[in-house]
């Protein structure tokens, strides 16, 4: 399915990002892995795939500029960019400060903006490529959470960023997003019984595995999706249809 020759996967030390890196690697794509720090997960996945790793903080604009420039210099300009990094800190709406709101947007939105500001013009000059942003069902109309208000706001912003960049960089670069529902990552350790009920409350009766979300990302990055741009593919097991 893949015509991907090279990919940079932001946020690939664990979870959906790591599963996406594995999926692209299995399709013959040369993958560059990224994490905020050279963690055991990032280094271990690099060894597993025989893939290079880069580490920089997506919330730090200067670090993003340096990190992306170094990645391109050392490993070449990617044909595919996957942004799978994100943070989700629960702060009650009534207690939130401006700093809390800025924190929610720091990695989730500004990280994506900073990376793509550096890479998209170069991808156009190279002749094209594909971008896939990993959003969330919390960014989809009607599915925002009253518990994670600012995370929902940030993920909704990613959806609009997807559409705007698809228009701006067409027809050379395709830009799409994937919006996962509840997914079995290391975050399940924080789920209480209520969260598990929600996770099982979709039409398929279970949360997604990271590889199932990664398959959707790999599809949108591939030539099989060559006539798809500006779209958000929801991978939620029918959660949004179950009246949640």
Rg (CA), the chain: 17
Distance of CA 78 to the CA centre of its chain: 16
Q: What SS3 state is found at 181? A: coil
- In the annotation, is 151 catalytic? yes
Return the half-sphere exposure (C-beta side, CA atoms, 13 A cut-off) of residue 238: 8
Q: Considering only CA atoms, which of 214, 119, 136, 110 is closest in space to residue 175?
A: 119
d(CA 14, CA 35): 9
CB burial of 153-166 (b: ≥16 within 10 Å; e: otherwise) equals bbbbbbbebbbebb
d(CA 3, CA 103): 36
As to burial, measured by CB atoms within 10 angstroms (0-12 exposed, 13-18 middle, 19+ buried), residue 197 is: exposed
Concatenated DSSP letters of 106-124: IIIIIIHHHHHHHHHHHHH
Q: What SS3 state is found at 179? A: strand
Going 193 to 154 to 60 to 50, the CA torsion angle's sign is positive
Rounded to 5 degrees, φ, ψ at 191 are -75, 130
Given 151, 182, 219, 239, which residue is catalytic?
151
Give the catalytic positions in this structure: 151
């Amino acid at each position: 399915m893949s015509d991907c020759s090279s990919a940079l996967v932001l946020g690939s030390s664990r979870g959906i990002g790591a599963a996406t890196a594995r999926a692209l690697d299995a399709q013959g794509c040369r993958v560059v892995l990224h994490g905020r720090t050279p963690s055991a997960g990032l280094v271990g996945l690099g060894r597993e795939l025989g893939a290079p790793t880069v580490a920089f903080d997506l919330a730090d604009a200067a670090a993003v500029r340096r990190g992306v420039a170094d990645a391109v210099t050392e490993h070449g300009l990617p044909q595919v960019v996957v942004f799978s990094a994100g943070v989700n800190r629960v702060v009650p709406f009534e207690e939130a400060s401006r700093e809390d709101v800025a924190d929610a947007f720091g990695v989730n939105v500004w990280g994506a903006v900073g990376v793509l500001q550096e890479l998209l013009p170069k991808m156009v000059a190279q002749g094209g490529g594909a971008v896939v942003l990993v959003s969330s069902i919390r960014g989809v109309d009607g599915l925002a959470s009253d518990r994670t208000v600012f995370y929902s706001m940030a993920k909704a912003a990613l959806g609009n960023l997807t559409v705007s960049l698809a228009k701006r960089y067409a027809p050379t670069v395709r830009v799409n997003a994937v919006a996962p529902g509840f997914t079995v990552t290391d975050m399940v350790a924080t789920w209480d019984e209520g969260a598990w009920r929600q996770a099982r409350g979709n039409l398929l009766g279970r949360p997604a595995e990271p590889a199932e979300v990664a398959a959707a990302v790999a599809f949108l990055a591939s030539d099989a999706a060559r006539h798809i741009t500006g779209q958000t593919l929801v991978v939620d097991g029918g959660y949004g249809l179950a009246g949640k």
